[in-house]
Amino acid sequence: MKKFMNTAETMVAESVEGFVRAHEEFVAFGVDRKCIRRRHLVPGKVAIISGGGAGHEPMHIGFVGRGMLDAACVGHIFTSPTPSQIISAIEETDTGAGCLLVVKNYDGDVMNFEMAAEMAAGRHSVEMVLTCDDVETVRASDGRGRRGVAGTLITERLLGAAAERGAPLAELKAIGDSLSPRIRSMGVALTGVAVPHTQRTTFALGSNEIEMGVGIHGEPGHSREPFASADTIVRYLSEAIVNDISQATDKALLFVNGLGGTPPAELYLAYNTAHRILAEHGLHIERSLVGTYATSLDMQGLSVTLAFLNDEEFSLWDSPIATAALRWGC
C-alpha cells in the first residue's frame, strides 16, 4: 500500500498538526492537543462542538471557525474521540452560554459524547444533537438506527450560524432535533477504503461492480450491483432519498459529496443528474454544495444529500462563514 505517510501510528497526529499550521487564522490546538478549537472565541455564545475519527477530513476539523464549529475532537482513524478529549473541548470553548454537541449516530461516538456530557454537567450546560441522515442503515434493520454521514455538515452549519446570531442553547437543541427527519443521504462506492494500519481495503470489488449504500467508515452497503452509467447510479440514490425523507416544503438544498477519491468533474456530473431527477419530482433546489467534505479516506465514491429547509434556515446557510473548508460572505 502506497501512502504519503511516515508510519500508520503517527499519521493522524502529523496530519492534524499540518492542518493547524496551514490554517492558523481559523484554528488553534487546545490544551495538550486534545481538540482543535476556534482561534477567536466569542464570549457569551453557545459553543458548537463535534468530532469523530480521523479519515473523514475536512470533516470535522475543517469546519471549525466563524459560523460553524467552535471545536472538533479527532480520534484515531475511524475511531471515536475519547471522553477526555470532548471534556477538554467543552472546558475550553464554553464562554458562559453552554455547549451543544453535534454527534454522528455511531455507537462509539454516542457513548463517548454522552459520557463526556455527563461528566461535564456539574460545571457546564451541555445538550446533544444526533445526526441520523443515512438512508442505508434503516434498510439494514439491525437496530442501530440511521448513521450520521455527509448530512452532518448541514446540521453543523445551520447550528453554527444560529449560535453566531446569539440563539440560546435550548433553541439550538430544538433546531438540531427538527432537522433530523428533513436531511437524508445515500452513498455509493467504486472501490473500498485502504486503511493504513491494516494495510488492506475494507472490501474488494470486481472490475464491473459497485457497492450501494456504503458508510463513511468503509462499511459495505446493502447490495453489490453491476457497474452502470452515472445517470442510473445517481437516479437510484436520488429516488431512494426522495422516498425516505420527510418533506415539509418543495425547497431544498442539494449536496453532492466526494468520499475521498472522486475527481470534481465526476461530482459535478453527478450533481447535474441529481438536480434533473429531483426537478422531475417537483422539487426546487434553492442552494447547492458540491465537493469533497465528508470523506472515507481514499474511497472512490460519492454521496447525495437532500435537505428540506425553511426560509430562516436558508438565511442561516447564507450567513457569513469562515473556516478552512467553507468560506463565504466574509
Catalytic positions: 56, 217
Coil, strand, or helix at residue 302?
strand
Residue 301: phi and psi, rounded to 5, are -175, 180
Q: How far apart are CA 171 and CA 163, in angstroms?
A: 9
For 74, the 3-state DSSP assignment is strand
- Cα–Cα distance for residue pair 156/178, rounded to 1 Å: 13
Q: Maximum Cα–Cα distance for the chain, whole Å?
A: 56
Backbone angles phi, psi at 52, to 5 degrees: 170, -170
What cell numbers appear for 3 in the block? Answer: 501512502
Using DSSP bridges, classify how beta strands 200-201 and 194-195 pair: parallel, antiparallel or unpaired: antiparallel
Grid coordinates representing 253 are 438544498
Which residues touch 26 (CB under 8 Å, ≥6 apart)?
38, 39, 64, 65, 66, 322, 323, 324
Which positions ≥6 away from 51 have C-beta within 8 Å? 35, 60, 71, 72, 73, 74, 75, 80, 81, 85, 86, 89, 109, 113
Sheet holding 321-323, edge to edge: 65-66, 321-323, 327-328
**303 in Cβ contact with 201 (< 8 Å):** no
- Coarse DSSP helix, strand, coil percentages of the chain, rounded to the nearest 5 percent: 35, 25, 40
d(CA 81, CA 302) in angstroms, rounded, equals 25
